[in-house]
């Protein structure tokens, strides 16, 4: 790895702190029933600890210069598949089809320049049982935010309606090589079906409309919706159309969307 030229354009900040790697691995609780997907294995510093614990692993890496180092780091394992491609273009559902597994996990220190598309791909396409993911600290705060706080928004609701989310721990810049500009954090998301969303497409559209302008009231963001019906449900929980979406808990959004769809 000594002469490796890190590409900023590919978000290449590798974790050099072994304690952090170990903490990520132990939070994932991977076992021999688990198929693990890793996005951006880099030089394999995380991969070489998660692959041997798993039943199988599929690693998606865009940078083919990392092939020899990954082959070497993982030479003691034969239960993984290394796919050199842009993960956003990968047909992951098809790639996992040939494996037999009880649990599907995503474990990754992702490239931050495509955080949003990666998170969306994970939730909408892969929909794994568990996600252990390193993201920018501010993204972690948004994912795990509580209603009524500045960080609570569209992303919080979309993910919390399907996953139980915890920000596990912060990771300082100096744990990476090269040192990035931002701090990071590891987030745990565990699939949760406590909310029964009747129509997923409608729900997502409704949530993106209600959060369209953060400073506007629900009434003003939801022109064209059945406001009387919405008002009745809000009222039941002590809210009104004059509130902002950032104050409303996920269960209330689900109930409203289900009643409208």
Scanning the structure block, which residue is given the tokens 């935010």?
A: 145
Among 88, 96, 168, 197, binds ligand SAM (CB under 6 A): 88
Distance CA 211, CA 247 (A): 11
C-alpha distances in Å from residue 190, one per residue of 65, 118, 131: 33, 17, 7
Q: What does the angle CA 208 – CA 194 – CA 155 come to, to the nearest 5 degrees?
A: 25
Query: Site map for ligand SAM, 185-204, x if CB under 6 A?
Result: --------------------
Distance CA 150, CA 147 (A): 8
Instruction: Choose one: 42-50, 163-171, 219-227, 229-237; the region binding ligand SAM (CB under 6 A).
Output: 42-50
Instruction: Choose one: 35-43, 67-75, 136-144, 199-207; the region binding ligand SAM (CB under 6 A).
Output: 35-43
C-alpha distances in Å from residue 208, one per residue of 89, 92, 123, 134, 199: 24, 26, 16, 25, 14
CB 257 within 8 Å of CB 199: yes
User: Is 111 one of the binding residues for ligand SAM (CB under 6 A)?
Assistant: yes
User: Is 86 one of the binding residues for ligand SAM (CB under 6 A)?
Assistant: yes
User: Is 10 one of the binding residues for ligand SAM (CB under 6 A)?
Assistant: yes
Instruction: Choose one: 34-42, 138-146, 201-209, 250-258; the region binding ligand SAM (CB under 6 A).
Output: 34-42
Binders of ligand SAM among 114-133, rule CB under 6 A?
Answer: 114
Point out which residues bind ligand SAM (CB under 6 A): 10-15, 39-42, 45-46, 60-63, 86-88, 109, 111, 114
């Amino acid at each position: 790895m000594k002469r490796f030229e890190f590409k900023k354009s590919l978000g290449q900040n590798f974790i050099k702190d072994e304690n952090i790697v170990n903490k990520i691995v132990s939070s994932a609780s991977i076992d021999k029933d688990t198929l693990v997907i890793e996005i951006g294995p880099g030089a394999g510093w995380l991969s070489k600890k998660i692959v041997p614990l798993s039943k199988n692993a599929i690693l998606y890496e865009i940078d083919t210069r990392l092939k020899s180092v990954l082959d070497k780091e993982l030479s003691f394992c034969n239960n993984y598949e290394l796919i050199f491609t842009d993960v956003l273009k990968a047909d992951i559902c098809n790639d996992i089809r040939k494996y037999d597994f009880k649990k599907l996990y995503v474990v990754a220190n992702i490239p931050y320049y495509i955080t949003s598309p990666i998170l969306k791909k994970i939730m909408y396409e892969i929909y794994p049982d568990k996600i252990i993911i390193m993201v920018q600290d501010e993204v972690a705060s948004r994912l795990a935010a509580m209603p009524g706080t500045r960080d609570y928004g569209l992303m919080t609701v979309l993910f919390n309606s399907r996953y139980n989310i915890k920000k596990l721990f912060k990771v300082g810049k100096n744990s990476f090589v090269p040192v990035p500009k931002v701090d990071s954090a590891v987030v745990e998301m565990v699939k949760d079906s406590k909310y029964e969303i009747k129509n997923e497409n409608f729900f997502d559209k409704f949530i993106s409309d209600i959060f369209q302008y953060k400073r506007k009231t629900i009434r003003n963001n939801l022109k064209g919706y059945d406001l009387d019906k919405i008002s009745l449900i809000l009222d039941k929980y002590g809210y009104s159309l004059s509130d902002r979406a950032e104050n409303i808990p996920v269960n209330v959004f689900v109930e409203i969307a289900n009643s409208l769809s």
